[in-house]
Structure 1
Amino acid sequence: MDIEQIRTYCLGKKETTEGFPFDQDTLVFKVLGKMFALISLKKWEQGEAAINLKANPEYSELLRADYNSIRPGFHMSKKHWNTLYIHEGELTSDFIKTLIDHSYDMVVQGMTKKNRDRLNVK
């Protein structure tokens, strides 16, 4: 899965925006202002394709145990974020999309009822 496919997939999720809130290198995807995915463009250009995604802490532990290319979030809370090292070739596009969905859903679940209603989520 290349960066444009990830970008298109993330932007296809309801109420998602992209931006560079930290620096010109870190592309961030947000749902209603809350981060659910981060990509270092510099690392991607250097051949180290990776994406940081939020995950349920218990699920994170299982993912890290099952996949060598999923590790604690680089420069993120190790409990709530994982870094997927896509360039290692272990993760399929469908699985990456599933993990993006999980990250998005985790962020939405933590929102107020008003914002969940805006997204038509219960």
Structure 2
Amino acid sequence: MKNSIIDYCLKKNGATKEYPFGDNPMVIKIAGKMFALIFEDEGDHFHLNLKCDPVIAANLREQLEAVRPGFHMNKKHWNTVMIDGSLSESEVYDMIDHSYDLVVNNLPKRLRESIAEMNPKD
């Protein structure tokens, strides 16, 4: 599931990956702004930090055991999503979409327009 999640993040218009903190985490950005951090844990497990609207973040944490306050992030605006088999791929993709959209919507209009004009990656 990790490779499909990484691929899904990188197929977003304008998405790039970086390693600004060393080998771990992988940071996925849009226009220089983070929208996903992918941490490799021991064994096959890993977790993601994703930006989230504060009200939705609180609801997800209450409803889903795999969603926690953002690890090493502003806990009001970021969630950590444990990829442990308890969430479907589509649930994780929805959270990634939300994170990406929040970041893109806060970019200057000129950047948003240039990102929207990009061809989606295959």
Q: TM-score, normalised by structure 2?
A: 0.90
SS in 2 for 1:39: strand
Q: What one-letter code is carried by the residue in structure 1 that aligns with 2:70?
A: G
Q: In the TM superposition, what is the alpha-carbon distance from 1:113 to its structure 2 partner?
A: 0.8
Is 1:104 aligned with 2:103?
no
Question: Could you say which residue in structure 2 is the equivalent of 1:120?
Answer: 116
SS in 1 for 2:13: coil
Query: Structure 2: which 5+ residue stretches go unaligned?
Result: 118-122
Q: What one-letter code is carried by the residue in structure 2 that aligns with 1:120?
A: A
Give, in whole Å, the separation in 1 of the partners of 2:81 and 2:116: 29
Question: Could you say which residue in structure 1 is the equivalent of 2:14?
Answer: 15
Question: Could you say which residue in structure 1 is the equivalent of 2:27?
Answer: 28
Structure 1's consecutive aligned runs of 4 or more residues displaced over 2 angstroms after TM superposition are 45-48
Question: Identity of paired residues, percent?
Answer: 42
Q: In the TM superposition, what is the alpha-carbon distance from 1:120 to its structure 2 partner?
A: 2.4
Give, in whole Å, the separation in 1 of the partners of 2:27 and 2:46: 15
User: 1:61-112 CA deviation, whole Å, 9 max, x = no partner?
Assistant: 110111011000011110000001111x221000100000000000001111
Query: Structure 1: which 5+ residue stretches go unaligned?
Result: none
1:52 to 49, 64, 67: 49
Q: Counting helix residues as a fraction of each chain, which structure ranks higher?
A: 1
Aligned residues: 117
Q: State the Cα RMSD in Å.
A: 1.3
Give, in whole Å, the separation in 2 of the partners of 1:97 and 1:67: 15
Give, in whole Å, the separation in 2 of the partners of 1:90 and 1:49: 13
Give, in whole Å, the separation in 2 of the partners of 1:31 and 1:108: 7
Q: In the TM superposition, what is the alpha-carbon distance from 1:46 to its structure 2 partner?
A: 3.0
Q: In the TM superposition, what is the alpha-carbon distance from 1:47 to its structure 2 partner?
A: 3.6
Give, in whole Å, the separation in 2 of the partners of 1:92 and 1:24: 27
